[in-house]
Amino acid sequence: MSEREEHALLKERVDQVLSAFVTAEAQALTAIDPSLAPVAEQLHSATGYGKRLRAAFCYWGWRGTGQPDNDALVRAAGAIELVHAAAVVHDDLIDHSRTRHGRPTAHIALRETLTTRPKAGARTLAMLVGDLLLSMAGQLFTTSGLPGAFLSRARPLWAVLARELVAGECLEVIRTGCAPDPDASVKVIRYKTAKYTVEHPLQIGGLLAGAPPALLRAYSDYGLPLGEAFQLRDDLLGLFGDREQTGKDPADDLASNRPTALMAYALARATKTEHAELHQLLGRTDLTERQVERVRRIAHRTGAVTRVEDMITVRLRQAHEALAAADLTSEAHRALTALATHATTRTR
């Protein structure tokens, strides 16, 4: 079986875990009051899509120690996907994004359920959906079926994951609109995305399995640069990706004026005229396709795109070097090698 087929099977297992768990939670919510049905529906919408990379990294963090396949571990790994779903709902809310996977985001879809102050009310409901998903993540993790002694080894890092994710989101909000600073932009993506996407899931899987400190360090040496490369690719796809494949409007990141490394380099190397153009366009919610294309041209001309591609290449090489030196099973080595390539060369 190829690594791609193996990941597809693992993804299917995680999808099944999440579907059953979210269905039960949604039913419990609507049992309180039928009017909560639209909110319950957003639990399904937020968790029904995804590449399940975070769950895969957790799974292979476990398998890398020599532990066998385990359904309870798949449930615990699936819990990290609920953390991601919560982060996405909150992120869309913060960025005022209107679409995700080609469908209305939670704070847009929920407007239809309200008659009084629908925009403000829908944003409040979306925030609460994200909060509930975070709570559900902890519940699925602790009821996964793994022994309590296994869970206790990973529980401290679970708390770190949540804290650093929130720190990254806060840093992004604080940095928005500030002077371009590529180093600050990388710090944002390190805490907002890289750690909870690759490094922490790997280490949680390893801790659950009782991995030795040397392997946990190797997971970090592999996971942190790979997680940063993953988000750098995401930033490029956010501006240059095919909307039909990404399911997201290319204008969203520009409208939210997110402090991406891509825009930091573009602003830092832009001519005076280009700099003025970017300042006029970034943060606007009514950007036309022509204006988005203008930002793309500036990003190319300033060398920002090339610079970010180089950053991805360097980080991917660091991840592969760390993996080559790691003392883990050959099966996990092959899977993590394939996941690294997939995470950094994807088109959606």
For 197-231, letters b (16+ CB in 10 Å) and e give bbbbbbbbbbbbbebeeebbebbbbbbbbbbbbbb
Q: Is the pTM of this model over 0.85?
A: yes
pLDDT of 269 reads 93
Angstrom distance (rounded) from CA 18 to CA 81: 8
Q: What is the mean pLDDT of residues 181-200?
A: 95
**Whole-number pLDDT of residue 293:** 94
Cα–Cα distance between 332 and 64 in angstroms, integer?
5
Give mean pLDDT, residues 178-206.
Answer: 95
* pLDDT tens-digit readout, 142-176: 999 999 999 999 999 999 999 999 999 999 999 98
The verdict on domain 3-345 having CATH code 3.20.20.20 is no
User: What pLDDT does 277 receive?
Assistant: 94
Flag the least confident range among 6-10, 64-68, 249-253, 278-282.
249-253
Residue for token pair 């989101």? 169
Burial of 19 (0-12, 13-18, 19+ CB in 10 A): middle
Q: Residue 127: which pLDDT band, with cuts at 50, 70 and 90? A: very high
CA distance 18 to 167: 26
Query: Which tokens sit at 83?
Result: 């953390």
Q: What is the mean pLDDT of residues 284-303?
A: 93
- Going by C-alpha positions, the residue among 42, 49, 55 that lies closest to residue 13 is 55
Tell me the percentage of the chain whose pLDDT exceeds 90.
84
How is the chain split into domains, by residue range? 3-345
The mean pLDDT of 218-241, rounded to a whole number, is 95
Averaged pLDDT for residues 293-300: 95
Q: Mean pLDDT for the chain?
A: 94
- What pLDDT does residue 72 have? 98
pLDDT at 330: 96
Instruction: Name the residue with higher pLDDT: 250 or 187.
Output: 187
Burial of 258-272, coded b for 16+ CB within 10 Å and e otherwise, reads bbbbbbbbbbebbee
Residue 271 pLDDT more than 90? Answer: yes
* The pLDDT value given to residue 176: 86
pLDDT at 186: 95
pLDDT score of 255 more than 90: no
**For position 1, what pLDDT does the model report?**
75
Q: Tell me the mean pLDDT in the region 268-276.
A: 93
